[in-house]
Amino acid sequence: MKISLGKFIHFKLSCLFIFFLFVLLYISGSLYWIFTENYLGEPALVEINKCPVCYGESLCQTLLRNQIKLSNLAKVRFLDIFGSNSDRMYHATLNSPNRGNTEIVLKKLGKNHDLSDLDALICSKAKMADDCDVSSAISKLSFVKQSGQDAKFAKYLQGSSKMFYCPSTRLVSELFNKYKERSATDEVTLRDRVKIWSTAIINQEPLLLQMFPAADGWPFPEYVGACGRYVAVGNGGKQLSAFYNANWSLRADIAYQLMKIAEMLTNNKADFALYLTDVIDDNFAVDADGNVTVIDLEDVLVVDKLAVKSAKPKGWEDVHESVYAECPGKTFKSCHSFSEVHLCSHVTSDHNYYAICRYILTPHHGSLKKDPAQADGLLHDIPKNIDEDWDLEYLLNECVSPKRQRGRIQVVHKIIEALDHIRKL
């Protein structure tokens, strides 16, 4: 049988096409595998080798067993280079036999230069080379050897972070009681104390999440665990800034929850006041069910109310009143219109209400927000009938800058009552 030349060439080209198709599929498959491989299970990424100069080890087995998988675009490794947070913040799913799938955020706390500064400090104090092995250098430091004594350890923590700014030994013993990263059930070992100290120095957030758990009703994400220099926390949802254009009743509901958060952090059964000192939209999140949480706890100042009551500094019983001062173009944190010393010496302050009213709810923040809806505050465009019924704009202005003494603390309850009513309309 004779095959025509045309048919032969067609056959050859088809074979060549199929061959190239296979090569292309192979290359793209390999590239996809390389770029989307679950690289969280790499011990070097989380820096397990730095422990106990780390946040904890409770999550290491889970991570190394690949039970935490990156979500969506976070899988694509080369996208790491985009955005300042992308190499420190990963959205992921935790799959564990006892709790099923949980959406979490893996956070590398501390900026890289802060972490390397801490490592270099430990190496130099241990009289070792700059790039020494911190996990062994730390045991050479004399303060670590003395940290076994509770009173001494409490002294070392003093001033290490905002939560340890005001003096309180009760805070340290409460932290010991609630500490989930402990290696023994009956004591907080020296290794655990090094972890607590390092965490306090770099970012207190995991310590506060363990002390004030979401399960007990605190408005924070759940603390899931830590491995090396990463912590895993519950996913709080979208940033608050995504809700400035939401409908009025949703914004009223979020505002209500923010005021209730301010109330709970100021007065609670634990007798610790937690003052928010970095009040910006990005530090609050709203989940799919509309629940609001505080997702950045690095700048929370903790005041032990019982310690203030027993020390009785001048004016301790009076409600501390925050003073409104113009601060054009600055954020609440950079404006620094509060005094830690004053907050530490009063049982109660109106600080949290002031911060929420001024920097989230109203246009009085004075910062440079580009989006017009954001510039006007979360409660922009109050419907006319609601303003007439509740005098909401007046109450909010009083909350920002009261005209009478103790004016703010008097209006905040009226604001909460009004918002509670409005959000249900």
Ligand X SMILES: Nc1ncnc2c1ncn2[C@@H]1O[C@H](COP(=O)(O)OP(=O)(O)OP(=O)(O)O)[C@@H](O)[C@H]1O
Contacts with Mg ion, residue ranges (CB under 5 A): 283, 296
- Pick 296 or 350: Cβ nearer Mg ion: 296
Among Mg ion, ligand X, none, partner that 118 touches (CB below 5 to 8 angstroms by kind): none
Rounded-to-10 torsion of CA 111, 115, 118, 123: -150
Q: Give the separation between CA 45 and CA 41, rounded to whole angstroms.
A: 8
Site string for ligand X, 276-315 (x = CB under 6 A): ------xx-x---------xx-x-----------------
- Pick 282 or 326: Cβ nearer ligand X: 282
Decide if residue 72 touches ligand X (CB under 6 A). no
357-393 b/e with 16+ CB inside 10 Å = b?
Answer: bbbbbbebbbbebeeebbeebbbbebeeebeeebebe
Site string for ligand X, 234-253 (x = CB under 6 A): -xx--x--------------
End-to-end Cα, the chain, rounded Å: 87
- Pick 94 or 138: Cβ nearer ligand X: 94
- Pick 86 or 136: Cβ nearer ligand X: 86
Of 277, 276, 384, 365, which is closest to residue 325 (Cα–Cα)? 365
Q: Give the separation between CA 72 and CA 90, rounded to whole angstroms.
A: 10
In 53-99, DSSP assigns E strands to 68-70, 89-96
- Taking the complex as a whole, the smallest distance from the CB of residue 233 to ligand X amounts, in Å, to 5
Please state, as a whole number, how many other Cβ atoms lie within 10 Å of the Cβ of residue 331.
16
- Pick 37 or 298: Cβ nearer ligand X: 298
Please state, as a whole number, how many other Cβ atoms lie within 10 Å of the Cβ of residue 217.
11
- Pick 192 or 296: Cβ nearer ligand X: 296
Decide if residue 89 touches ligand X (CB under 6 A). yes
Q: Give the separation between CA 265 and CA 302, rounded to whole angstroms.
A: 9
Residue 304 CA to chain centroid, in angstroms? 21
- Pick 285 or 409: Cβ nearer Mg ion: 285
Helix (H, G, I), strand (E, B) or coil at 222: coil
Please select the residue that binds ligand X; options are 84, 98, 247, 385, rule is CB under 6 A.
84
Q: Which two tokens stand for residue 183?
A: 């290696």
Among ligand X, Mg ion, none, partner that 285 touches (CB below 5 to 8 angstroms by kind): ligand X
Judged by CB under 6 A, the chain residues 174 through 233 that form the site for ligand X are: 221, 233
Of the candidate spans 83-91, 121-129, 242-250, 264-272, the one that interacts with ligand X by CB under 6 A turns out to be 83-91
Q: What is the DSSP letter of 242?
A: G
Decide if residue 172 touches ligand X (CB under 6 A). no
Q: Which two tokens stand for residue 247?
A: 């409908």
Q: What is the DSSP letter of 323?
A: P
Of the candidate spans 84-92, 148-156, 162-170, 411-419, the one that interacts with ligand X by CB under 6 A turns out to be 84-92
- Pick 105 or 378: Cβ nearer ligand X: 105
Among ligand X, Mg ion, none, partner that 225 touches (CB below 5 to 8 angstroms by kind): none
- Taking the complex as a whole, the smallest distance from the CB of residue 287 to ligand X amounts, in Å, to 8
Among ligand X, Mg ion, none, partner that 239 touches (CB below 5 to 8 angstroms by kind): ligand X
Site string for ligand X, 95-124 (x = CB under 6 A): ----------x-x-----------------
Please select the residue that binds ligand X; options are 36, 49, 85, 116, rule is CB under 6 A.
85
Of the candidate spans 6-14, 42-50, 81-89, 150-158, the one that interacts with ligand X by CB under 6 A turns out to be 81-89
Distances (CA, A) of 272 to 162, 302, 363, 384: 13, 6, 30, 39
- Taking the complex as a whole, the smallest distance from the CB of residue 364 to Mg ion amounts, in Å, to 21
Rounded-to-10 torsion of CA 121, 127, 129, 134: -60
Q: Give the separation between CA 73 and CA 80, rounded to whole angstroms.
A: 10
Residues that bind ligand X (CB under 6 A): 84-85, 89, 105, 107, 221, 233, 235-236, 239, 282-283, 285, 295-296, 298
